[in-house]
Structures are given as structure tokens and as C-alpha cells.
Amino acid sequence: MANRVVADNVPVWEAEAVPSGGAGYPRLTTTVDADVCVIGLGGSGLSCIAELMRAGSRESRHIVGLDAGKVGSGAAGRNGGLLLAGTAAFYHDAVRLFGHARARRLYELTIEQIAAIARETPDAVRRTGSLRIASSDEEQVDCLAHLHALRADGFPGEPYAGPEGTGLLVPTDCAFDPLGRLRMLACRAADRGAQLFERSPVTDIGAGEVVTGAGRVRCERVVVAVDGRLSRILPELRPRARDARLQMLATAPTTEISVSRPVYARWGYDYRQQLDSGSLMLGGFRDAGGEEEWTDDSTPSNVVQTRLEAFLREGLGVRAPITHRWAATVSYSATGLPVLEEVRPGVVATGAYSGTGNVVGALCGRAAARLALGERAEMADLLAVTAD
Ligand SMILES: Cc1cc2nc3c(=O)[nH]c(=O)nc-3n(C[C@H](O)[C@H](O)[C@H](O)COP(=O)(O)OP(=O)(O)OC[C@H]3O[C@@H](n4cnc5c(N)ncnc54)[C@H](O)[C@@H]3O)c2cc1C
């Protein structure tokens, strides 16, 4: 890239997704009342709202959703578009780290959630399966251990050897258009009566109210469904949720390569997929940026973008021009498991998906809705227990 960082920082999904539909949603400039106020209109916030509306069919419930930017303007609309089962840890590692029963149930729930996402927004999802490709002999051994653990518990997985390399194939994983899905979910929520506001950054969450730059929401309960910069809204989570920058690039449509299903490699650091249009998307190399990638700055950096481009040209042999470069912020937890709990009276928080929040975030968003309604949520119970 001749040491130049593109200025626009726009994800390829803006070119792929259905248009947002007119001017979008208004800015909050007055005081409104709500039963539940959901902060964050990404995948977890909109899944939370969908669940609240579903639960609300029995009794009328007023829901307000707020976003600092636009629907999907955080990581949720700017990511790699992989829908992978499991948590951030590979399945065999999850069994070791979190206990067998807990890891197994979490994996089951994520497989079910991928199917739910595909049912909910079929136009945004491609049922492709995914490939984990080994980058070394050591990683190939780990892929076999990963595969063995999946099969031992009856989960789908097959050994893989093909043009991408060797590793394992998980047939139930999917690829999706994250921004397109979010726009569909927002539209549906608004049609069903949720009041959505964009360009309304939350500056304070007080007793019974949420304050934005120019307005406020008087509400009984609040859900904070924000992955990147979670601890800025809720500083008490700072020790548990650390911001990180993840980066990607995309090319013009190309036939130089055919990537029929999403691939993740090098211990999950690097990932790619090719869209129906032929555009190739490549993400990763966060480790190449070192400590500087632990930041809430969502601007693409030279170091990581240069590595991505080198891999595109030299590793994959693709010469197609690069059309998009972008970055976004996520949060990592120390345990690899997300935050999902009532952090203040009446305030439920979910986030810190450690780089893999498309599926777990949707699950946690729905569970956060249940917690906000004073109900139990299996996901919250699973995340709270100690390893068996
Ligand atoms: C480059 C990249 C690639 C990735 N690839 C994958 C992948 O392939 N598969 C996968 O599972 N995960 C992936 N992830 C992680 C995944 O994108 C995130 O974990 C997930 O999308 C988080 O969604 P969210 O709705 O919880 O939060 P976010 O999208 O982080 O936040 C939701 C919304 O909150 C809003 N917000 C923030 N602060 C405030 C405030 N103060 N007031 C009001 N609103 C606020 C933001 O504007 C945002 O729209 C990737 C992430 C990145 C950055």
C-alpha cells in the first residue's frame, strides 16, 4: 500500500448491504419514557430488542434503543462476517478452561443461535461452513485435537485438506452480511413500535434515566449492549473489558482466487472470506501491531494494513486492487468469556466477546433482555458458574 493509510475507513459492507433506508433514525433531542432502554444498536443490542419485543407481545412494553453513531456503526457492522460456533476459545480449549459440561452447553447454544440468525434474516446469511486452517505442524496437531473434541461430543466437524491447506471443516458455521442483517433487524424493531435513535451518545446512566448529548430517557431498566468501548460507558468494567482494534481490507471483485467458505488460520488471528460479488475480504494480523492494537482508536494503522496487504499479494497471490480498508473496536475479557450481568441496580451489561461476538453477542443480547425483565437466562447462568 506504499505506506499510505486510506482515510475513509469504510467497511466493504457499506457497498454490499441493503441501503439503510432514507435518513435513518432521528437524534434524541427531548425526554422520552421507556420501560427498557437499550444502549447500542449493533448485533447484541438489536437481538436484545427483538427478544424484548417478543416477550412484549403478551403485554405492551415501550422500548427505546440508542446509538452513538448509526445502526451497525460499531464492530457489529464492520466485522469479518463469520458466524462460528463456540466461544473465543477453540472447543477443546474451552473444555479445558471452562469445564466440560459448560463448554458443551455453550457450544450447543451457539450452534442453535447460528440457525436462529439464519431463520431471522435468511437474505443476509450464506450456509457455507467454515475452515480452520493450520499454519504449522504444531497447529495441525491442535486442529486434530479440536476436531477430536468436537466429534467426541457429537458436534459436526470433518478433517479438511484442500487448496487452502489442511485443518478442519465445521459444516454448520455460516458467512453473513453483518450490516445488512442489522439494518433488517432495526427496520423490523421500528415497525413493531420500538423507538430508535441514532447520533445519540450516552454520557451518563443515572438512577432511572439515561442521559445523551441532547436528550434523556426516563426508564425502569437499562441494557448496555456495547462491545467496543464497553468500559467507557461503565467504568466499573474497566478491569474486565480491554479495548482492542481489529482491522480488515477488501479487494475489487476478482477471479484470481476462489474462497468458497470463510477461512480462519494461524490460531484464529487471520480470517478471510469472498463475497458473492467476488470481492475478497481479509482480516487479522492484530499481533503484528503489538501493544498499539490495545486501543479504542478505530483508525486503520499502517503496520497491520501493510501486513494484510503483504499476505494478500504474497501469501494468496491476489493482485486485484484494494477498495476498502477499515478498523473497529472490540473488547477482550481476561477469561475469554463475555460479561453478561446486572452491573448496577436495573442496569444489565453485555459485551467483551474477545473478538468473536457475532453469535455469542446475539445470544448474550437475548439473555440480557431476559435479565432486564427480571427473568433467568441460561446464558447468564452458564457464564456465572465456576468450571466443573
Ligand atoms: C474487523 C473485525 C472483524 C471481526 N470479525 C468477526 C467475525 O468474523 N466473527 C465474529 O463473531 N466476530 C467478529 N468480530 C467481533 C464482532 O464484530 C463484535 O464482537 C460484535 O459485532 C459486537 O457487537 P455489539 O453489538 O455487541 O457491539 P458494538 O458493535 O461494539 O457496539 C454496538 C453499538 O454501541 C454503540 N455505542 C458505543 N458507545 C455508545 C454510547 N456511549 N452511547 C450510545 N451508543 C454507543 C456503537 O456506536 C455501536 O453501534 C470482529 C470485529 C472486528 C472489529
Q: Taking CB atoms and a 6 Å cutoff, what residues make up the pocket around ligand 1?
A: 39-45, 66-69, 73-76, 78-82, 84, 201-202, 225-229, 233, 246-248, 271, 283, 328, 330, 351, 353, 355-359, 361
Whether 353 has a pLDDT exceeding 50, the answer reads yes
Question: Structure pTM?
Answer: 0.95
Encode pLDDT of 154-193 as tens digits: 999 999 999 999 999 999 999 999 999 999 999 999 999 9
Alpha carbon nearest to ligand 1 atom 2, residue = 79
The predicted structure's pLDDT at residue 22: 58
Encode pLDDT of 99-133 as tens digits: 999 999 999 999 999 999 999 999 999 999 999 99
Q: What's the whole-number average pLDDT of the chain?
A: 94
Long-range contacts of 231-238 (CB under 8 A, 24+ apart): 231/331, 232/296, 233/39, 233/202, 233/205, 234/205, 234/343, 234/344, 234/347, 234/349, 236/343, 236/344, 237/339, 237/343, 237/349, 237/351, 237/352
- Ligand 1 atom nearest 203 alpha carbon: 41
The predicted structure's pLDDT at residue 332: 97
Look up residue 229 and give its DSSP letter: T
